[in-house]
Structure 1
Amino acid sequence: MARKDNVASVLAFEKKLVTSDGYMFGTQWDNRTQIVPLALQEKSVRGTISNRFKKSDVQSFEKDPTKLNAKVESANLQRVDSCALGLEQDTLNLQFSVKVLGGITQPSACNNALFKQSYSAAANTYIAEQGFTELARRYAGNIANARFLWRNRVGAEQIEVQVKAKNNSIEQAWTFDAYQFSTKNFDSNNEQTDQLAAQIAKVLASESDFLLLEVSCFVLVGKAQEVYPSEELVLDKGKGGKSKILYDVKGIAAMHSQKLGNALRTIDTWYPEFSDPETNAGPIAIEPYGAVTNLGKAYRTPKDKQDFYTFFDNWARGEKLSRVEDEHYVMATLVRGGVFGESDK
């Protein structure tokens, strides 16, 4: 069949890892019977001028150093949100849930019957051959290593991750020492993560099953130490507005579900630069172009034919990809979900 007859201009997939917001509490490492919700605090601070000046300003300062003194004397007044543990608290407790869903073989929207048929055949072949074992192992690894803590993971003395998995037929629980699992690779073998991965893989490969994972993570950071909820993106703060606005839900400091989800899908070690010893690169989040916004770089470009669409357009029409790793990447992108329609013009 000609390709022009096998084009889905409307094509969408629902995400199969649905993450809640993460809620932050304070407690004590040796006595966790009481956890207290953490609230945001507003601070007014008098900072110093430390931004890079324009070349014209620098030249002016060279001619007249007193102008720089005048600049420095001007107070950099700021209003910011912050969040910290209480005086007697030394441990952050982060709680969130993840719902794992099946049904990956059927798009949520597709306007071409031929494409839907060829895609479903490719997806069923992948499930029969791979069974989501590799992807689930990596998702489980990112739960066990507490990658979802982001900045809160840095400088922590101890990190314990408690996971409960439940649905209509199972209810299991595991406890992980996050420092026993690397954030640079997924090479570690562990019986408990294998058990968790098996449950995730089973649901992802199913037609309509589900699994709810309840995650409670305890992080020993030190008494009264600052912790880091998500920061809100505010495009127009207005004159005199806060220069940093943190996220909370009904007075409880929180982390965005998108940020937690990004951490769980940071499993892409199949992009070309990962294997380059000079870059010392780690896993990146599953994205159609391998975009890492804080680095301002796309690691999977159409020019190099390593992006999702290059692989997916051929694979979904029945062509075998040259590497099984590329199939893992394609399926992980579909688990992520999104709108992937192709122009029919």
Structure 2
Amino acid sequence: MNANQISMFDQSEVFKNLPGVLSFQRGIPISDGLFFNELDDGSESPVMVVRHGIRGTQNVAKGTKKQAKKGRSSSDSNSSESESLESDTVDRGVSNIQTTDTAKMDPQASALKVRFSMSPLDLDVLLFAVAAQKDEKDLTFVKRYRESVKRFIVAAKASSGLDDVANRIARNVLTGRWLWRNRTVAQSIEIKVSHENGELISMCNALSLSLKYFDDITETERKLGALIAENFRGNARDTFAVEARVDLGIKGAVEVFPSQNYVEKKPDGFARSLYCVGHPRRFRSDSMMELEATREMGQAALRDQKISNALRTIDTWYPAYNEHQRPIPVEPFGANLDAQAFFRDKKTSAFEYARRFNELDPNSPEGKFMIANLIRGGVLSSGEKE
């Protein structure tokens, strides 16, 4: 769609309210990132998540010293501090028996490989739903708002702001930011990005690139960024295959880190559930006489949402960037789990900018932030009226 196909409503209109329903689909469909062993002979095998029992130690502070002192005189408490602590460990038990999941490489592995695929969409298809609030009396509101979004998308597709957003995503692919904890323990990481047919697009040393800045984009990153931008513009529809070869500097059965699962109301003694694909291995026997110490749960993997979060960690446009000095994931209010903080307020949120699509310059920091929010996808609806 081009600008000539959009009705000529007031192109400077700032909307007092957002629609009752406003949602965008994700602009980059992404697969899970599967873990593989690279074996000494060059072959590969899946890295498996294994469920097993461990005997650890108690390391949870429970305020027991204070409880032990309760009801004693000050002289008693001063003379019996060591007795209180000793009594408490006896009551609690020093041992911590748990069932947990672990992902470890094969004893014959020389490196870890992680692979995922991504396929950026045309920005034109991202607007999923727009509907008025129930008491909305202006029957043209939805049409005016929808066309304000479409005008912004037309401008974004013609802008250098979209190239900047695409280059930042390319950097996060090639830095291996999406490897999360596996990146921090690696000695070296080689990233390859290929077309679906196997044709190589980009290859680089991931640890040579910065995770903090986007003002030093390399030619390798620009090449991938240009292809991503062409997909966002609707001029191509590519699927990119991404592979990381992670050298941990240690050979053998080394622990690696897939996504973790959230388990509500975990059973007593259950410590951690890891994300995996496939099906758990069946027990070999129903007999209680046969003890199985471990059970394979499936192939270790990073969730697509976790990879997506890393790829959209490109927001350096938020007001406190000069103080925080690191990019945060694109979120409507700048929500950041690492810092446990919101880095955007109402005036700098995606909700505010979404009322002003008609005013936004896609080459401005606010405009780039909103391009990235469209690609992120999600709901920006407002149920309130001012």
Distance 1:58 1:148, change over 3 A: farther
Aligned counterparts of 2:329 and 2:318: Cα–Cα separation in 1: 11
Per-residue CA deviations over 1:249-304 (Å, capped at 9, x if unaligned) read: 0121111111011000000111122112xx4x3111000011112432111111xx
Pair 1:225-2:254 in alignment: yes
Q: Look up the equivalent residue of 1:95 and give its one-letter code.
A: R
- Listed as ranges, the gaps of 5+ residues in structure 1 are none
Partner of 2:62: 53
Is contact 2:176–2:191 with CA below 8 Å preserved after alignment?
Answer: yes
Quote the residue 2:148 is aligned against.
118
Aligned-partner Cα distance in 2 for 1:164–1:231: 28
- Structure 2 counterpart of 1:226, which letter? E
Match of 2:309 in 1: 262
Three-state SS of the structure 1 residue aligned to 2:272 is coil
In the alignment, is the contact (CA less than 8 A) between 2:112 and 2:245 conserved in 1? Answer: yes
Amino acid of the residue matched to residue 157 of structure 2?
Answer: I
Q: What's the CA shift for 1:5?
A: 8.8
Structure 2 alignment gaps of length 5 or more: 1-9, 71-76, 132-141, 279-297
Q: Give identity over the alignment, percent.
A: 29
Asked if residue 140 in structure 1 is aligned to residue 170 in structure 2, the reply is yes
Contact 1:156 1:219 (C-alpha < 8 Å) held by counterparts = yes
| Residue 105 (structure 1) shift | 6.6
Specify whether residues 84 and 6 from structure 1 end up closer, same or farther in structure 2 by C-alpha distance, changes over 3 A only: closer
Separation (CA, whole Å) in 2 of partners of 1:144 and 1:322? 25
Change (3 A) 1:338 1:106: closer
Structure 2 residue matching 1:69: 3-state secondary structure? helix
Structure 1 counterpart of 2:288: none
Q: CA deviation at 1:71?
A: 3.2
The answer (yes or no) to whether the contact 2:69–2:84 under 8 Å persists in 1 is no
Distance in 2 (CA, whole Å) between partners of 1:19 and 1:92 is 20
Residues 1:337 and 2:377 are matched in the alignment: yes
Q: Deviations over 1:171-225 (max 9, x none)?
A: 5532111012111112333222111110100111227x42211111100012122
* SS state at 2:48 partner: coil
Asked whether the 8 Å contact 1:163–1:216 carries over to 2, the reply is: yes
Stretch of structure 1 that moved more, 329-338 or 33-42: 33-42
Whether contact under 8 Å (2:24, 2:128) holds in the other structure is: yes
| Cα root mean square deviation, aligned | 2.5
Query: Aligned partners of 1:217, 1:322: CA distance in 2, in Å?
Result: 33
Q: Give how far 1:81 is off.
A: 0.8
Show the counterpart of 1:252.
299
What residue is the counterpart of 2:27 in the other structure? 16
Aligned to 1:307: 349
SS of residue in 2 equivalent to 1:101: coil
CA distance in 2, matches of 1:324, 1:130: 10
Equivalent residue, structure 2, for 1:37:
46
8 Å contact 1:181–1:188 — kept in the other structure?
no
With over 3 angstroms needed to count, the CA separation of the structure-2 counterparts of 1:323 and 1:138, relative to structure 1, is: closer
- Secondary structure of 1:243's partner? strand
What amino acid is the match of 2:351? Y
Equivalent AA in structure 1 for residue 257 of structure 2: Y
Task: Look up the match of 1:293.
Answer: 337
TM-score (norm 1): 0.88
SS of the aligned residue for 1:236 comes to coil
State the aligned residue count: 332
Instruction: Verify the 8 A CA contact 1:158 1:220 in the aligned structure 2.
Output: yes
What's the secondary structure of 2:104's corresponding residue? coil
Moved over 6 A (4+): 1-6
Contact 2:126 2:375 in 1 (8 A): no
Tell me what 2:240 maps to: 213
Mapped partners of 1:126, 1:201: distance in 2: 11
Match for residue 275 of structure 1?
A: 322
Q: Is residue 83–residue 226 contact of structure 1 (8 Å, CA) maintained in 2?
A: yes
TM-score (norm 2): 0.79
SS at the partner of 1:90?
Answer: strand
Q: Which has the larger radius of gyration?
A: 2
The reply to whether residue 203 of structure 1 matches residue 231 of structure 2 is yes
Q: Are positions 1:76 and 2:96 aligned together?
A: yes
Contact 1:106/1:120 (8 A) holds in 2: no
Q: Structure 2: which amino acid aligns with 1:39? A: M
